[in-house]
């Protein structure tokens, strides 16, 4: 059996083909989409759990080294892993929100895979993270389909990371490939996510069209300009129909982070001053919420930074705000704050103002955010997304007949208006915002493995 596998930044989903149509498989209860999250008692628990309870061995000597260190650490801390100690999806998020201090939680590991400067140990650990998530999803899909799943087409963005170029892409794709092999897949192919979404839209066309696919996902925005329609449908070689691609690591997560930084981090002191009148260092308010940046998270939550934060509080004009920043450090609250910004972003698609309520353990902080404030806050990532649209069209010098927008953030009226302003009079259509990529990957898997 084969599946299309959307290993997404925000959510993961898989689909099989049934009577010529993609069929999404339930992965978490009755839900087709499982949040891309993982939670464990400790960081080291992931590698040991993968070996002990998934029965998946390391792929090389570096992986064996990571496993040995993990087992030694857990023994030293008297951590005896039992089945169920590794949580995924909504269960992982619930466990994290229950007590952020006592667990190791990761959201969107896909965001880290193309990061530059990773050591072999880090690459191997990320492979373990991805493998654990893929193995869990594969087991859930096999339980529903009652068949062994051997083959898959995995979606990938045009570019995994903003820096690093093709080297970063190769690093990320290799991690995904190795993780998928270890999870039990035998034959593995990759397809660009916007191309996959386009294949699903193509199934509805009765005449040939040039389609600009704009896929605004959780971690990346990807654009593909493609000739599509009855002439091309079902062809195994689509090279001649692929006219242009553009992509960058800027997506829904970035919208949430920028909104959190501009509107929520003021409650933690981001626009305040020291007693001497000097502005507070912005990196101390950016790093805790930059949840898609390995270096930023490491720097903020380092032991050395605790001393710097205490000094900032001592020298602050508003020490009560810096005390919240200290609590963010001590309680690992960065993910929670970004999640509140995401709630506001979603709500402001239907209203002009939203009140954010942040539970900071011993204090409830409320912040009102208007639609205009949100639009101002997300201007930088929005501009990058628009530039990608312009780049894809400029590459081919061919105007699209239609724009197909997909991905969770493509629902935003602000982003749709921004795309429309670049290509006026070109109709914008949408399908399943969350499922188009997965469905298209399943269609391509049928072409690859039939």
Contact, 155 vs 6, CB < 8 A? Answer: yes
Please name the residue that has the structure tokens 């919240």.
324
CA distance 389 to 404: 12
pLDDT at position 163: 62
CA distance 203 to 200: 5
pLDDT at position 164: 61
pLDDT at position 293: 87
Maximum Cα interatomic distance, the chain, rounded to a whole number of Å: 71
Give the residue-averaged pLDDT of 128-143: 98
Provide the CA 29 distance to its chain's centre, in angstroms: 21
CA distance 187 to 420: 40
Q: What is the pLDDT confidence band of residue 102, given thresholds at 50, 70 and 90? A: confident
CA distance 74 to 114: 28
* C-alpha closest to that of 161 among 246, 222, 250, 244: 250
Please name the residue that has the structure tokens 């029965």.
55
CA distance 45 to 64: 14
Does pLDDT of 337 surpass 80? yes
Give the residue-averaged pLDDT of 269-278: 96
Does pLDDT of 215 surpass 90? yes
Q: Tell me the per-residue pLDDT of 69-92, one tens digit each, with 9 for 90 and over.
A: 999 999 999 999 999 999 999 999
The CA-atom distances, in angstroms, between 256 and each of 82, 251, 253, 277, 390 are 35, 9, 5, 30, 23
Domain annotation for the chain: domains and CATH numbers? 2-185 (3.30.420.40), 204-251+380-429 (3.30.420.40), 253-377 (no CATH)
Q: What is the pLDDT confidence band of residue 38, given thresholds at 50, 70 and 90? A: very high
Does pLDDT of 295 surpass 90? no
Give the residue-averaged pLDDT of 310-338: 95
Query: What is the DSSP code string of 223-264?
Result: EEEEEESTTTTT-S--GGGEEEEEEES-SHHHHHHHHIIIII
Q: What is the pLDDT confidence band of residue 21, given thresholds at 50, 70 and 90? A: very high
CA distance 114 to 32: 27
Give the residue-averaged pLDDT of 217-227: 95
Exposed (0-12), middle (13-18) or buried (19+): which is 414, by Cβ within 10 Å? middle
pLDDT at position 23: 97
CA distance 176 to 8: 12
What is the pTM for the complete model shown?
Answer: 0.91
Which helix H or strand E contains 370, and what residues bound it? Answer: strand 364-370
Q: Kindly tell me the sign of the dihedral angle through the C-alpha atoms of 124, 53, 7, 37.
A: negative
Does pLDDT of 284 surpass 90? yes
pLDDT at position 162: 59
Q: Which of 49-58, 110-119, 122-131, 236-245 has the lowest mean pLDDT?
A: 110-119
pLDDT over 90 percentage in the chain: 91
Which residues are registered as beta bridge partners of 312? none
Virtual torsion, Cα 326, 329, 334, 337, nearest 10 deg? -30
Give the residue-averaged pLDDT of 18-39: 95
pLDDT at position 97: 84
**Residues whose CB is less than 8 angstroms from the CB of residue 3 and which lie 6 or more positions away in sequence, other chains included:** 14, 15, 16, 25, 141, 149, 151, 152, 153, 442, 445
* C-alpha closest to that of 438 among 9, 18, 23, 1: 23
pLDDT at position 397: 84
∠ CA 332-12-285, rounded to 5°? 25
Q: Which tokens is 183 given?
A: 């999870």
Which residues are registered as beta bridge partners of 225? 212, 244
Looking only at the bridges linking them, the beta strands covering 11-18 and 34-35 are antiparallel
Mean pLDDT of the chain, nearest integer: 95
Does pLDDT of 340 surpass 90? yes
Q: Which tokens is 1 given?
A: 């059996």
pLDDT over 70 percentage in the chain: 99
The CA-atom distances, in angstroms, between 217 and each of 166, 180, 197, 249, 302 are 20, 21, 12, 10, 30
């Amino acid at each position: 059996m084969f599946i299309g596998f959307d290993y997404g930044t925000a959510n993961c989903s898989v689909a099989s083909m049934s009577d010529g149509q993609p069929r999404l498989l339930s992965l978490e209860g009755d839900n087709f989409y499982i949040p891309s999250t993982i939670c464990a008692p400790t960081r080291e628990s992931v590698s040991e759990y993968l070996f002990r309870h998934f029965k998946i061995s390391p792929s090389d000597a570096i992986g064996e080294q990571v496993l040995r260190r993990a087992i030694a650490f857990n023994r030293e801390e008297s951590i005896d892993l039992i089945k169920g100690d590794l949580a995924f999806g909504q269960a992982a998020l619930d466990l994290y929100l229950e007590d952020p201090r006592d667990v190791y939680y990761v959201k969107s590991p896909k965001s880290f895979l193309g990061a530059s400067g990773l050591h072999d140990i880090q690459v191997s650990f990320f492979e373990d993270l991805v493998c654990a998530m893929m193995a869990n999803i594969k087991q859930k899909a096999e339980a529903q389909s009652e068949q062994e799943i051997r083959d898959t087409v995995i979606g990938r963005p045009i570019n995994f990371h903003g820096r690093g170029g093709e080297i970063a892409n190769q690093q990320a794709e290799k991690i995904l490939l190795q993780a998928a092999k270890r999870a039990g897949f035998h034959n593995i192919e990759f397809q660009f996510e916007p191309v996959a979404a386009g294949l699903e839209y193509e199934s509805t066309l009765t005449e040939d069209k040039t389609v600009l696919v704009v896929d605004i996902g959780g971690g990346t925005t990807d654009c593909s300009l493609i000739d599509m329609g009855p002439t091309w449908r079902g062809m195994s070689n689509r090279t001649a129909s692929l006219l242009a691609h553009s992509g960058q690591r800027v997506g829904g997560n970035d919208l949430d982070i920028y909104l959190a930084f501009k509107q929520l981090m003021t409650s933690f002191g981001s626009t305040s001053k020291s007693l001497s009148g000097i502005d507070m260092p912005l990196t101390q308010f950016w790093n805790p919420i930059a949840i898609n940046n390995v270096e930023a998270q490491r720097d903020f939550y380092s032991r050395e930074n605790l001393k710097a934060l205490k000094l900032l509080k001592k020298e602050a004009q508003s020490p009560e705000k810096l005390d919240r920043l200290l609590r963010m450090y001590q309680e690992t609250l960065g993910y929670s704050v970004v999640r509140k910004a995401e709630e506001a972003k979603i709500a402001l698609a239907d209203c002009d103002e939203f009140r954010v309520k942040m539970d900071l353990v011993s204090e409830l902080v409320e912040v009102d955010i208007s639609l205009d404030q949100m639009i101002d806050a997300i201007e930088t990532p929005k501009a990058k997304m628009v530039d990608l649209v312009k780049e894809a069209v400029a590459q081919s010098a061919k105007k699209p007949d239609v724009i197909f927008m997909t991905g969770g953030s493509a629902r935003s009226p602000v982003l749709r208006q921004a795309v429309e302003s670049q290509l006026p009079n070109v109709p914008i259509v949408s399908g399943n915002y969350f499922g188009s990529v997965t469905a298209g990957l399943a269609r391509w898997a049928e072409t690859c493995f039939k």
